């Protein structure tokens, strides 16, 4: 079976008898109910090896078998680009890459070339275009200037499985951040809602009516009572979540031009630290660990992205203050 066309064979168990067809198939396949309804409407689902007219509201019975035919991927309008990828894991269903700082994940206004998607289209024969032709295979994203682990689906079934894992927060996502300041705690569960900033639309902020956002923060090391290296575990994935949460705790991420005030390294700091900070052109944030149960093979996947040069240099300088 090619990656461009897939079929899923499902059987209704006894404990699901009496449920709506769209609900049962979505639960068994990890394909969204909206997508199931679309496939039903287009005649892409067979019942008991027969092409029959099926309604989303139909009742299912134990032992009923269904074949879901996932249509071929839509052709991409983007031009693949031969951009090198640092691949941490890959099989026929998905891959995990170590995204470098400065690379945009998917095309957007002002970023119509050189994105991760352009590189993926060159690397992979096909990618599921169900997020629209500009975001094939993309399940989640990290900011342009954040480096680290990112998982990409190579088939539609893998995409739906990964989306389900993210929705249930069954993904181990750990980040490293280097911050200005030190805390009076070693571990903190930061649970502050996040929404668009009411006055600065390019920023996010803690807003009482915002969406739930939960970050576990652990101090890995304090440097001379001035800086900290933090390990952050995400339980939700709001835009700029770590950056907003740490800034609210009085621990702005070094190099963050959006959520941290300008920081001018004083001459009292050791020269290697001053140099590392002067050369830092982005927020010191790295998506180090990505772990999950493979949605197709059920294999336990654990990826650890090595530090890029700028953060490795910064960390080494701070450790030798």
Catalytic residues: 143
Residue 103 CA to residue 86 CA, distance in Å, equals 12
Is residue 111 classed as helix, strand or coil in its secondary structure?
Answer: strand
Residue 296 CA to residue 167 CA, distance in Å, equals 17
Question: Which residues on neighbouring strands pair with residue 178, listed in sequence order?
Answer: 229
Q: Which of 129, 128, 81, 75 is nearest to 104 (CA)?
A: 81
Q: Which of 227, 316, 230, 223 is nearest to 276 (CA)?
A: 316
Q: Which of 8, 23, 13, 15 is nearest to 58 (CA)?
A: 23
Both tokens of 103, joined, read 């690379």
Q: Which of 10, 171, 175 is nearest to 94 (CA)?
A: 171
């Amino acid at each position: 079976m090619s990656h461009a066309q897939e079929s899923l064979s499902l059987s209704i168990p006894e404990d699901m008898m009496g449920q709506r067809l769209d609900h049962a198939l979505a639960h068994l396949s990890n394909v969204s109910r909206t997508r199931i309804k679309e496939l039903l409407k287009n005649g892409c689902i067979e019942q008991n090896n027969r092409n029959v007219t099926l309604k989303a509201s139909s009742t299912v019975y134990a032992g009923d078998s269904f074949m879901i035919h996932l249509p071929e991927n839509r052709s991409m309008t983007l031009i693949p680009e031969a951009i090198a990828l640092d691949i941490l894991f890959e099989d026929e269903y998905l891959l995990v890459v170590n995204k470098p700082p400065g690379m945009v994940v998917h095309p957007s206004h002002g970023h119509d070339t050189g994105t991760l998607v352009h590189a993926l289209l060159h690397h992979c024969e096909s990618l599921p275009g169900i997020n629209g032709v500009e975001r094939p295979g993309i399940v989640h994203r990290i900011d342009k200037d954040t480096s680290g682990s990112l998982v990409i689906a190579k088939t539609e079934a893998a995409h739906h499985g990964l989306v389900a894992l993210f929705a249930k927060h069954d993904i181990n996502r750990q980040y490293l951040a280097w911050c200005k300041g030190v805390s009076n705690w070693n571990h903190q569960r930061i649970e502050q809602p996040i929404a668009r900033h009411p006055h600065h639309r390019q920023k996010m902020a803690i807003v009482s009516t915002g969406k739930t956002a939960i970050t576990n923060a652990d101090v890995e090391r304090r440097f001379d009572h001035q800086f900290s290296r933090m390990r952050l575990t995400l339980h939700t994935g709001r835009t700029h979540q770590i950056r907003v949460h740490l800034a609210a705790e009085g621990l702005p991420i070094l190099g963050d031009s959006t959520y941290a005030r300008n920081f001018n390294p004083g001459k009292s700091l050791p020269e290697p630290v001053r140099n590392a900070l002067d050369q830092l052109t982005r927020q010191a944030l790295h998506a180090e660990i990505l772990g999950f149960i493979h949605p197709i093979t059920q294999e336990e996947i654990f990826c650890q992205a090595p530090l890029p040069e700028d953060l490795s240099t910064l960390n080494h300088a701070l450790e030798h203050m």
